[in-house]
Amino acid sequence: MKHIYQAGKDKNAPTFVLLHGTGGNEHDLLPIANMIAPDASILGVRGNVLENGMPRFFRRLAEGIFDEEDLIFRTNELNEFLNEAAEKYEFDRERLFAIGYSNGANIAASLMYHLPNVLHGAILFHAMVPRRGIHLPDLSNTNIFIGAGTNDPIIPQQETKELIETLRNANAIVEEHWGHAGHQLTRDEVEKAREWYIRLTESK
């Protein structure tokens, strides 16, 4: 997968994998990661699917309707890439922290829905429920921040609440932040994610 890797100064910090929204690329979330964890190592990844020329991490049949077969395939593809990247760049595969926005947040959620011990933690901005009717792995000790918009025209509030409930039922530790904006990523929710991550690191 097309990607960028930057080794960080803090060797004790987790490595952050950055997963962009539709039409983005492996560089998009670098400023976000630098705000949240400026000294951490960063792995920015570009999705392998194109929709009208715009990179995505998996196909969809319509807005809000995922191609489940492709979602499962691409989830496994991303997991394999993360395994290979950990070997290549010599970072701890068991201490991988995702930052995802929109489509990227959905593939990050899908990793946690399908695969055990795949992420140490995650920051999901404007995510949806990746799949329904499946049993999630045990997500004990997995810390997740979810940023959502009360006026998001793409993701109804109930969708986000269902995602939060499902993750908590799998024993994940979830903090939610609701902004008043729409689907766009705001500085306020990035600041809240940064504050959450600082509290998380200080408590360990």
Cβ proximity of 19 and 9 under 8 Å:
no
Q: Mean per-residue pLDDT for 191-202?
A: 95
- C-alpha angle 61-101-185 in degrees, rounded to nearest 5: 115
Secondary structure element (H or E) that encloses residue 47, with its range: none
pLDDT classification of 202: cutoffs 50, 70, 90 = confident
Q: Mean per-residue pLDDT for 181-189?
A: 93
| 119 burial type by CB count under 10 A (0-12 exposed, 13-18 middle, 19+ buried) | buried
Summarised one tens digit per residue, pLDDT across range 65-119 is 899 999 999 999 999 999 999 999 999 999 999 999 999 999 999 999 999 999 9
Cβ proximity of 56 and 22 under 8 Å:
yes
Summarised one tens digit per residue, pLDDT across range 106-159 is 999 999 999 999 999 999 999 999 999 999 999 999 999 999 999 999 999 999
The residues carrying an active-site annotation are: 102, 152, 183
Its pTM stands at: 0.96
State the average pLDDT for the chain. Answer: 96
Question: Residue 25 is which amino acid?
Answer: N
pLDDT classification of 204: cutoffs 50, 70, 90 = low
pLDDT classification of 203: cutoffs 50, 70, 90 = confident
Question: pLDDT over 70 for what percent of the chain?
Answer: 100
Instruction: Give the pLDDT score at 63.
Output: 82
User: Using CA atoms, how far apart are residues 76 and 125, in angstroms rounded to an integer?
Assistant: 21
Where would I find the H helices in 9-133? Answer: 30-36, 68-89, 103-114
For domain 3-202, give the fold.
Answer: Rossmann fold (3.40.50)
Domain locations along the chain: 3-202
